[in-house]
Amino acid sequence: AAAIAAVRGAAAVPELVEFMKNATGQTDQEAVKSALMSVSGNKEIALLKPVLKDGSSIARKTAIELMAWNKGNEYFREVLPFASSPEEPVRTAAVKALSSLAGPADQNDLINLLTSVQDKAYIADLQTALASAATAVEDKSSRSDVILRAFKNSTAKERLIPVLATTGGKDALDLVLNEFELGNPDMRDICFKTLTSWGDYTASSALYEIVASRNKTFEDQAFRGYIRQVRTAPITDEQKLLLYKKILPFALSADRKNEIITQLGRLKTYQALFLAGTFLDDPETSSAAASAAMVIALPSAESSTGMYGNIVREILTKTAQKLTGPESEYNKEMVVKYLASMPSDEGFKSMFNGKDLTGWQGLVENPIVRSKMRRVDLERRQEEANLMVPANWSVRDGCIWFNGNGSNLCSVQEYGDFEMLVDWKITKDGDSGIYLRGTPQVQIWDTSRTDVGAQVGSGGLYNNQIHPSKPLKVADNPVGEWNTFRIVMVGEKVSVWLNGELVVDNVTMENYWDRKIPIFPKGAIELQAHGTDLAFRDIYVREISDKEFNLTAEEKTEGFVSLFNGRNLDNWVGNTQSYVVEDGMIVIKPENGSGGNLYTAREFSDFVFRFEFMLTPAANNGLGIRTPLEGDAAYVGMELQILDNDADVYAKLQPYQYHGSVYGVIPARRGFLNPLGQWNYQEVYVRGTHIKITLNGTVILDGDIAGPRDNGTMDGNDHPGLKNTTGLIGFLGHGSVVKFRNIRVKDLSL
């Protein structure tokens, strides 16, 4: 058979089918099946139909197996009758084949067969076939519909329920839960196994309820099933952490606590680290907590940076003492080494100690009114407001609770630029928010309140009128469940992540109290009181200094600092009239002449300088390095060209005058600028006499100025600045509009 197939290919199929039809031995059947599989497609498989009608029992079995291998739904009707064949080999082959052949339209036939089959050995295969047919329905929300309709009048409901674990859906889950609650012991067992094998994590809520009910029969398995479903769920780390926190009160044994702690080690979030750190002092959980903390905080294989801050340092210092196991000494060494290299920044600090309202106070008017009050009057009003707080705000179970009456709760400390982490929970019809710098607000509300537009979701900058006020997506958890915000505010710009999903992307927050002026540079963080019960917990804040504006985590670890804070020209000198700050950028707007130069306030010798720039047509600028404040930077220092290379006006320049060149000294490669109107990313590496420039990921210059310095330059001019070992860095205006942003430097001389 193999030889015939090899020589004649598909043309041999009729002969092979005839041979199969008459062959009586298993060896011959296997040989012809293998040969047919090597040359057959849909057209050839159709030639097997006569075998089902006239072939021997063993030939029918082979034909059915080949149809299953082909997976053609058109053969389902051909094979289905043989699932009731009196011949056991044929019947078994047919039952097993149905899962490969069934489509959505075949569900009722499979349900009838499943509920009536006498041989229990076939039940699992028929359930698999039914699940396969149902999951072929394109609309995921409808995949259980046929089964649910059949369930109502079925006399074998216990056979249908396990299939729902694969087809899923809210209605299916509700049905399984109802049967679990009301069914007999056998049905409860079937329903419970279905819940623990549910195809997605939506059944975790049902498993949680079983755990919370303290059902001794199912509690332990439900707990482990819950953890397993959350672990494998395709959701954000932030969402997983909320679900682990939810089940944590029922982790009454050390084994359960350690199971949760182990899962925390899979989540690369600060909140997961802080939670793991709370278990370091318990001898029964300290080892698992130390392992989890190490994995969370230290750089992963995909990243060169880890977490930092005083709380992180405290946790890792304790972690190094608690690590156990065969690799503990190696792990301790890694932790100690990382601690030695960790940035010294304060990082996140807790705004809420979980016990009382230390660090919080009552609300007195709004920032504008407060700014006009006499100090003595403000202090008196603050004392009065503080006396009102306990009637409305309280602490219990590690949470700040609001009872629906009274005014906002305000941080005592004021914040400028910051990153905030906070969990929150509202009740039905809830409405709240978080004020930033005393200004409303990052919105929180019950998304079912369509009458007020809440269907857009929480997280938006509700009071904006000019800039976007609505979130990018709905990412809320159901009312009564915890949610978590990550809020980053730098200058006027705010970004918000809700449950790990970006819902506000660097949007200007308007000043609600006076829309004619920008939002205040500093102010309190306020938890809004808006007439409904709500709660907050796990509140952390990290103040962002000018030195880390827009730095990546990797850059912070590597020692970069920001030279531009996105708001003003602090720490810059020179022409601060033509160079202006707009929307987080430095923009040169020359009116007459060149527009002048803008320099860093301090000098640099060896460094890595990174920045982004956007050119306008025929734009000409430059990056001065190791230059003094006075004189032509191209000569008394060095000028690295910033130029629209493709402009016609520059068609006849010398090679050393194009973008990236050390002007007059070393030419750069051309052809790597992005189109006009797009941002370019450039890195300048300077150490000693070595200069390397990388533009949009490509090295366009890698040279040494020692030769030109000592032997003469390409342009034949005197460049005394080549001898400089230190100087300012600056943008050199040549009469063109150019935009700059994300300006940072790493000092290599430190």
Domain locations in the chain as residue ranges: 2-242, 243-344, 360-544, 554-747
Host H or E run for residue 600: strand 597-600
- Judge contact between 682 and 666, C-beta under 8 A: no
Question: What's the token pair of residue 680?
Answer: 């370019």
- Which secondary structure element, helix H or strand E, spans residue 131, and what is its range? helix 123-135
**Contact in structure between 742 and 610 (CB atoms under 8 Å):** yes
Q: Collect contacts of 669-672 with beta carbons under 8 A, ≥24 apart.
A: 669/698, 669/699, 669/700, 669/701, 670/645, 670/700, 671/645, 672/696, 672/698, 672/700
pLDDT at 6: 64
Asked if 538 contacts 495 with a C-beta cutoff of 8 angstroms, the reply is no
Q: What is the pLDDT of residue 7?
A: 54
For domain 554-747, give the CATH number: 2.60.120.560
Q: Which of 743, 698, 735, 739 is nearest to 615 (CA)?
A: 739
Query: C-alpha angle 302/307/312, rounded to 5°?
Result: 145
CB-CB contact of 622 with 734 (8 Å)? yes
- DSSP assignment of 389-454: GGGTEEEETTEEEE-S-S--EEEEEEESSEEEEEEEEE-TT-EEEEEETTEEEEEEE-TT-GGGTG
- Give residue 28's pLDDT: 83
Q: What is the pLDDT of residue 12?
A: 75
CA–CA dist 83, 78 (Å, integer): 10
How many other C-beta atoms can be found within 10 angstroms of the C-beta atom of residue 530? 17
- The domain 360-544 having CATH identifier 3.30.1370.10: the answer here is no
Question: What is the per-residue pLDDT for 592?
Answer: 52
560, two tokens: 């970069």
Please, how many CA atoms are within 13 Å of residue 371, restricted to the half-sphere of its CB? 8
* Residue appearing with tokens 């007459």: 592
Which H or E run contains 165?
helix 164-167
Tokens 């409860």 correspond to what residue?
188
What's the CATH architecture for 2-242? Alpha Horseshoe (1.25)
pTM for the predicted model, two decimal places: 0.79
Is 13 in contact with 7 (CB distance < 8 Å)?
no
Cα(16)–Cα(13) distance, integer angstroms: 5
246 HSE (CA, 13 A, CB side): 25
Averages of pLDDT over runs of 10 residues in the chain (750 residues) are 63 81 84 80 84 90 93 94 94 96 96 92 96 95 96 93 96 94 92 94 93 91 95 96 97 96 97 98 97 95 83 97 93 94 88 97 96 96 96 96 93 96 96 96 97 97 97 97 96 95 96 95 94 93 87 84 90 92 88 79 97 96 97 96 96 96 98 96 98 98 97 96 97 94 94
634 to each of 12, 574, 590, 650, 731, how far by Cα in Å?
81, 16, 19, 18, 11
Residue 101 · residue 68 · CB < 8 Å: yes
- CB neighbourhood size of 420 (10 A): 21
Burial string for 203-217 (b: 16+ CB within 10 Å, else e) reads bbbbbbebbeeeeee
HSE of 411, CA atoms in CB hemisphere, 13 A: 23
CB 572 within 8 A of CB 721: no
Q: Which residue has the tokens 């200004």?
A: 439
Residue 18, pLDDT score: 84
Nearest to 240 by CA among 222, 207, 263: 263
- Please check whether the two domains, 2-242 and 554-747, share a CATH topology: no
pLDDT at 11: 77
Q: Where does residue 411 fall: left (phi above 0), alpha (psi -120 to 50 degrees), or beta otherwise?
A: beta
**Dihedrals φ, ψ of 526, to 5°?**
-120, 140
> What pLDDT was estimated at residue 594?
62
d(CA 667, CA 655): 5
Numbers of helices and strands, H then E, in the chain: 28, 26
Give dist(CA 742, CA 548) in Å, integer: 10
